[in-house]
Amino acid sequence: MLLIIAAVFAILFYRAAYNEHMNGWAWAVASFALSLVVTQLLPGFTALVVAQIGLFGVLWWVNTKRLSMQGERWIRAREEERRLRKERVDRAREQARRTSERHED
């Protein structure tokens, strides 16, 4: 029965992590291992559920941190792209100004 419960929790964590574009297998293995360890140390379904809720909290925290870092990388990439575009426009304007000055002379 313990293995069935551990497998059910592992499947739930796999799906949750996969839906959040994280490594589902790592979270499934963590959930399965946690189930085995908790049931050996503290027999009872309540301890198992509390441990799985704690693991879900860790999953949520890691995902929030990952999304925050991804957002920061996206912002930095956009700023860099904007800066490069501005430099190209400035160079093109300078080149156009020089060309027009040569034609005026």
Q: Where are the domains of the chain?
A: 2-104
Threshold 0.75, pTM exceeds? no
Q: What is the residue whose two structure tokens read 């992590």?
A: 17
Which parts of the chain fold into alpha helices (H)? 2-19, 24-41, 45-104
Model confidence pLDDT, tens digit, residues 28-83: 888 888 888 888 888 888 888 888 888 888 888 988 898 899 999 999 999 999 99
Please compute, for residue 86, the number of CA atoms within 13 A of its CA located in the half-sphere on the CB side.
Answer: 6
